[in-house]
Structures are given as structure tokens and as C-alpha cells.
Chain A
Amino acid sequence: MMIDARNLRKTYRLGGTEVHALDGVDVQIDDGEMVAITGPSGSGKSTLMQILGCLDSADSGTYHLAGEDVSTLSEDRLADVRNRRIGFVFQSFNLLSRMNAIENVELPLLYAGHAGAKDKAEAALKTVGLNERGHHHPNQLSGGQRQRVAIARALITDPAILLADEPTGNLDTKTGDEIMALFASLNDQGRTVIVVTHELDIARKCRRQILIRDGKVCE
């Protein structure tokens, strides 16, 4: 099992009142699945995404990622897990504007301790259909192209999971569909893909949907 999270709880304090963002969530995702996590805004799906993405830890509950218990890891160990096992794709692309596409894509490998990863970065850009844009800076690329660069960056360390947070939120429908098709083909190649979205159209393109409401799973 790729993801095995049990009884996750997370509480925030907002001006004296406690908000139970996650209230005992169980999530199991197998290798090679393509899953959508959906729910209205404020449902806790973002919090779940952050915990599944090892950006944050739950207050209680256990989380095994590819067999490894990551619920008790230190900040730096979590950074390593994010680097090796998870490829992030964000709504607002989150590319570094001062770097060109190749430099953006090879960045995770640099943090993994590899040097001269240019070839790999170019190969990853090819995988997402951006052969000749390697030396362009993000502001010279369209939204769809930027998202492809972000996906190439997510793929570069060959992670087990692609975790996409509203990946089509800043794109028009056609480009969004293209990006979802790209995810589907990556999933066909055996990669586990998790898409967090509030758009039902997008969620329906995934093979399974997990609906979060008020911090609980109601599948």
C-alpha cells in the first residue's frame, strides 16, 4: 500500500475557537491508483493534502508512506521524504522566476545531492511535452507550459506519488484537460497520482474520489 493513514486528527486555533480541520480521517491508497480528494473549501482537504504531502504532521494518528512511518519524523527527515517520494504540483505553479525551466526542474535533484542534472531535467521536460522550452523563464511561458514545467520538476526525483493541489485552478478548461490527460498517462505508466480539487469535473477524471466534509471522509 502506498498510503496508509489512520485516524488523522488536526486542530487549529483561530482566535480562541478550535477548528477541527481533520477529525479522524482514514485514507488508504494503493500503488498505481489515481485518486481525487475533493470537498468544499474549508472541508479540511488542504490540511489532508499537507499531511499526506509531509509538509505538516497530524496531531494524532499514524501515517505510513510506502511502508515507512512518517508521522514521527523530524522536519529535516520530512524534507528528505518530500524530496525522494513526493512530487508536488501546485495551483499557482510555484516556479522560481529567476531560473529557467531546466534550472527549475533540476532543483530537487540538487537538494538530493546530485550535480549536473541538466540531462535528466531535459528528459523530464520531454516527458511532459516541453522539448524546446528549457531555456525559457517562467514569465516567458504560458500557464499550461508552466504547469508542465512544474510537473517535470515533480517527476525529476522519480517519486512514488504525484501530489497535485488544484492543478487546473489557474488554467482554462482546455489546458486543464490537457494537464489532467498528462496525469492520466503518467498514472498509466504506474505512478500513483493524487489530485486535490474542489471541481467535480476534474475529480471525475480520476478513477477514485475521496470526499472530505467537515474534517471527515464520506466516500
Chain B
Amino acid sequence: MLFWVIVKVGLKSLWANKLRSLLAMLGIIIGVGAVIAMLAMGAGAKGQVMSRISAMGSNLLIVRPGQARGMGVIVGANQRLTLDDALALREVEGVRQLAPVVSGTQQIKYGNRNTRPSITATSTTYLPIRDFHVEKGRPFTEGEVESAARVVILGPVTANNLFDQDDPIGETVKLKGINFTVIGVLKAKGDQGFFNLDDQAFIPYTVGMKQVLGQDYLREINVQAFDGADLAKLQEDMTAVLRKRHRIPDGQPNDFDIRNQADLISSMMEINDTFTILLGSVAGISLLVGGIGIMNIMLVSVTERTREIGIRKAIGARRRSIMTQFLVEAIIISCLGGLMGVALGVAGARVIGAATQFVTQIELSSVLLSLSFSAIVGIFFGWYPARRAASLSPIEALRYE
């Protein structure tokens, strides 16, 4: 019997039992929908992490105080990074430039408006290292940093919050009661999710550390290596310099942590992959349950259509024809369910992306994966009922009432 005839017969018999077919599909619909939505969330998170990390600029090493990978206990009292540490690192071979960073959240006022962006107190090098560009006005100068000038550069969102459409350049804003002159506005980087890079204000660290943020120590040092520099070697050299400065005896762990982008990317990816596998397997289990649903319906269908099977056999259907017919029906159920599941998953991912702060990204591979998986589920769980139908004896089947 020709294949398209079998497909037609299959569709017909499924159509004859619309509600039952739909219920049989439901497990697959939900399973595939879940797989696609979950994988879209995973891929979205991955893309987000990647863009955040690459937004930080290239060849970047970040030095932070404290141990990153202790056993839960932080050893050593001196967990501080100072400006002198930064100056010492400046001399390490391979370092192109670096920027000390102190940051915190502070209220900025302009007239009767105010906003609470993240304040970054740093040097002139920060903007080029982190790949920020000034859209209006100018960045601050070495001279302004040295003289602790009260100047501020605003992120586009912050500027908009305070000035709306007005030109902020040259205006005076108040930060912790101190007047600052706005000298520049940055080009937008786009929302990066959990932390908005465009809602920031930058001031010279010379004025920012003690007077605005009230801190004596650095939160991090951003180090930019020369292009093509050996980051691993540089990291080693920097570690040696800092260990010496902090007088850490051999055998003791570091009281600081140096990370490069690759480290960041791989650790984020690891978390992300674990997350994706977890969500994916939950979704996979629901696909499996869907398959069992199909098997159940197919077994009922075989019993119910025993007489039909008998008639078909009497007029010359071979085992194989009967087997194919029921198998095709199971595959139609699972594939139709799979297609509907794709629609549900895509819609679900869109809704999640629009309604929550999760970014979702539907990948073609996940659609193809779940579609072929649902076809496999159809074959696997349709096999036994189809075999049972095929091995019915024609006489018994014809006698069945």
C-alpha cells in the first residue's frame, strides 16, 4: 500500500476521534513546548552573558580583593586593594593601561529631579578599557583627575532621567551635596539585563573615593593588556607583584583574585549549561510521559479496531501493512503534537521574553531537536501497539464484536 494512502488513512482515523487524538497529543505538545521554551531561555541567558562580557572590552583582566575560590573560609586579613597596588601593576610588562575603580550607588540631583545610578569613580583610562564612548561633550582629562576636579560624565539613561531632552553639558548636578559639572554623556550600550550599563555616572576617583563614596580601598582594578599579549603570563606576573606587595608567604592563598574574560565566560557558561541541562531534562521527561500517553491511546485504538484489522487482513493486508498503518498513526500523532508544541514553545518563549526580565532566544537547532525527538517518541511508543495489531489472527479479529 502506498505511503501517502497510509498517511491519509491515518489522518482520517485521527480526525474521526478528534478529542482523543488531541489528548494523546497533549503530552507531546507540552513536552516539546517546554523543551523549546526552556532551551530558548538557556540560549537567551547565554547570549546575554556573552554580550555583557564582550561589552566589557577586550584584553581585559579584572583584579578584585578577596579570595574567589576559597573553601568558604577567607584566609588572611589583608583583603584590600590600594591605589599603590594599581600603580605597581601599571609597571608590569604587557599592561597597556589600567583603571582603578571604586563604585557605589548614590543619588544625583538636578534642580528638583533626582535619580540613583551606579557611580563609578575611576581614572581617564576606564572609558577606553571598558569600550565606552562619549556621545556629547568630552571625557575627563588627566589634569582633572589629578586636581580632583568636580566633573561628571553621565550614562545616557542617567542623563535622560535628569535632563529629559535638555542638553546636560555644562549644567551643575549635586552628588552628596557637592556640585559637579556635567562634561559628557556616553553613547548607549543597550540594556544588558540585570545591570544597566547606561544608567551610570563617572567621576574622577580622586574626588570620588573619599568625598562621594567614602571608601579608602579599590573595588577593582581593570587592566587592559596589549593586543596579542600572553594573558596567562601577565596574570602570573601580576599575581607575583601583588603577593609581594601584600607580603603573602609561599603556600598561602592569594587575598585577591585576577580574572580574565575567558575565565568569566567559561564559568558563566558552565552555570548556564548546567541550568540548560536541568531544564532540558525536565522537559525531556514530559516528552517521555507524552509518549506513554500515545502508547496508551494506540493500544485502545488497536483493541477498538480489531474488527477493522480483521477485515483488512482478510482482503489481503500483510502484517507489514497493518504494522505500518498503526505506526504511521502514532507518528502522525507525535509529529502533529510536536509541531503544535513548537508553536506553543515559540509563543511561550516570546511571552516569557516580553513579560519577564529573562531574555529568550529560539534556536533552530532546538526546534529540529525536539521535532525529531517527538518523531522518535512516536516510533518508540507506537511500535508495541502496531506490532500487536499486526500479529492479530484474521479469524479472531473478524470474530471480534
Chain A residues within 8 Å of B, Cβ to Cβ: 50, 53, 55-56, 75-76, 79-80, 82-84, 88, 90, 94-96, 98, 107-108, 110-113, 115, 153, 157
Contacts and interface: CB of A to CB of B under 8 A. Distances in A.
Contacts of B314: 53, 55, 82, 88, 94
Interface string B1-45: 110010000001100100000000000000000000000000000
Contact of A55 (B317, B319, B394): B394
Contacts of B393: 56
Given A55-B394, A111-B1, A153 B315 contact: yes
A98 B315 contact: no
Contacts of A94: 307, 310-311, 314, 398
A7 B206 CA distance: 115
Interface of B: 1-2, 5, 12-13, 16, 307-308, 310-321, 393-395, 398
Contacts of B5: 110, 115
Contacts of B307: 94
A75 B319 contact: yes
Contacts of B308: 96
A83 B395 contact: no
B320 A76 contact: yes
A55 B5 CA distance: 25
Given A94-B307, A110-B5, A115-B5, A82 B395 contact: no
Residue among A76, A79, A88 with the highest chain B CB neighbour number at 10 A: A79
Contacts of B13: 98
Contact of A111 (B310, B316, B394, B398): B316
Contacts of B395: 50, 55-56
A105 B123 CA distance: 89
Contact of B315 (A56, A111, A113, A115): A111
Contacts, number: 62
B13, B310, B321, B394 interface centre (most CB from chain A within 10 Å): B394
Contacts of B312: 96, 107, 111
6 contacts: A76-B320, A82-B315, A94-B398, A110-B2, A111-B321, A113-B1
A17 to B, nearest CB: 20
B311 A83 contact: no
Given A55-B395, A110-B2, A111-B1, A96 B311 contact: yes
A83 B1 CA distance: 12
B14 to A, nearest CB: 11
A95 B311 CA distance: 8
B313 A98 contact: no
A94 B13 CA distance: 17
Contact of A80 (B1, B16, B318): B318
Contacts of A82: 314-316
A159 to B, nearest CB: 10
B329 to A, nearest CB: 13
A80 B311 contact: no
A66 to B, nearest CB: 16
B316 A98 contact: no
**Shortest 9 CB-CB contacts between residues of A and residues of B:** A83-B316, A111-B316, A108-B315, A76-B318, A94-B311, A79-B318, A110-B1, A82-B316, A55-B394
Residue of A76, A111, A113, A115 with highest tally of chain B CB at under 10 A: A111
Contacts of B310: 94
A111 B322 CA distance: 10
Contact of B316 (A50, A79, A90, A95): A79
A90 B2 CA distance: 26
A75 B398 CA distance: 16
Nearest to A79: B318
Contact of A98 (B16, B317, B320): B16
B316 A84 contact: yes
A107 B315 CA distance: 8
